[in-house]
Structure 1
Amino acid sequence: MGAKLWAAAGLTGGLLLAGGGWYAVAGTDSSTHAVCAADLSKDPVVADEFKAMAVVETVKHTRAWDDEGGSSFLSSQVHVLRTLQGTVPEVLTVTQGVTKKGTAAGGYVDDDPLYAVLEPGRQYVVGIETMDNEGQGPWVGYVAPAKRGVDGEAAHWRDVQRAPVPAPAHCDDVVIG
């Protein structure tokens, strides 16, 4: 294990211990949570957030399921038409969070207008996270229809990757309790 990895592990462990100590001292009357996320409405942020991106065509849905917490997931096999950044295999199965809408085939939506549900036969730009969803393949944290065609999307994202990443928006903390 390299020195940087050991340092990161030590820092993470220290932060966990400090957080646990704070929680033990402060009690459970209230807690503060940061409610921040990357602004995926800005393409430079998307390109910075996802180290692997590609233009894909959805081949088929391979699995849909609900977890015990009420969340729904959809895994889809995709064919990579063009890698935009990082390393992406030619064919892979990706998983995304969805919302159930009826029981008919294709009965899934997403409440976020910036996050499309992969549909067979259609082309999308995807940002792929490296995490594995319990053996279901890489997670897509960004899905948008490929409106510019494969070559147009490649040119657009090449330009986006050269653009400066905007500073993150102010992150407000919310006190719960």
Structure 2
Amino acid sequence: MKHKRTTLSVLAAAAVLTTAGAAWYTTLDTPAGEGPPSGAHGLCLPATDTDEDKAGYAHTIALVSVDRTVVYREESADAGGALVSAVTILQPLKGTPPKQMTVGQSVLQAGSGYAMTKPAYLPLEPGHRYVVGIVPDSDYGDGWIWFATTADSDPAAATARWTRAVARQIAPHPDPACTDLVVTPTPAR
């Protein structure tokens, strides 16, 4: 009989602690007077680890020559902004882009120039050639640069690399390492 009472006491204590812990956890990020979050939404971007991933997401891939910088836009208080450039399409590798395009890209300011925000995301500089992947975005003219790799030293090798990537492109899929979430609070009553 003593064994039953001890077991029941332990189970009752565990139930109380579990309930209290769950209630505490639910209110961790909940402002006072509001209930638990009503939903969570992922902000994950498609995987871009490989050339094939990038090729699958970009609507247009082309060898381009950068004609000029159109404008640099500060878009927030954070470091960096959007660099808008005019480019000439030298060789389309995916899609059917117009001969001339205006495209935007995210850059960091570095002294008198711009710095890349990711290794495969070189800032476009006038007078240089790149292979770029572009996604539609009318806020920046004809699109947004999804990736930019140099083609100055060997345009033939650069176009061969991206022609292979287009031939083996992978449909866009979420990055498995992504954990970004936005929690939508429950409206106050």
1:52 aligns with: 60
Match of 2:160 among 113, 134, 155: 155
2:5 aligns with: none
Deviates more, 1:85-94 or 1:157-166: 157-166
Match of 1:118 among 105, 120, 124: 124
1:6 aligns with: none
Gaps of 5+ in 2: 1-33, 184-189
Larger radius of gyration: 2
- CA RMSD in angstroms comes to 2.9
2:19 aligns with: none
Distance 1:175 1:95, change over 3 A: closer
1:31-42 to structure 2, matched below 5 A, reads 32-42=40-50
1:90-169 to structure 2, matched below 5 A, reads 90-102=99-111, 104=112, 107-133=113-139, 136-146=141-151, 149-163=154-168, 165=170, 169=175
Contact kept? 1:32, 1:173, Cα under 8 Å: no
Contact kept? 1:123, 1:146, Cα under 8 Å: yes
Distance 1:172 1:117, change over 3 A: closer
Equivalents in 1 of 2:38, 2:148: separation in Å?
36
Equivalents in 1 of 2:43, 2:109: separation in Å?
25
1:5-24 to structure 2, matched below 5 A, reads none
How many residues align structurally? 148
The answer to whether 1:74 aligns with 2:83 is: yes
Contact kept? 2:62, 2:132, Cα under 8 Å: yes
Distance 1:153 1:68, change over 3 A: closer
Contact kept? 1:31, 1:175, Cα under 8 Å: no
Equivalents in 1 of 2:159, 2:147: separation in Å?
16
What is the deviation of 1:123? 0.9
SS at match of 1:97: strand
Equivalents in 2 of 1:174, 1:32: separation in Å?
10
Gaps of 5+ in 1: 1-25
What is the deviation of 1:172? 4.8
Identity %: 26
What is the deviation of 1:78? 1.0
Q: TM-score, normalised by structure 1?
A: 0.69
Q: How far does the alpha carbon of each residue in 1:113-133 deviate from its partner, in whole angstroms, 9 at most, with x for none? A: 221100111111111111111
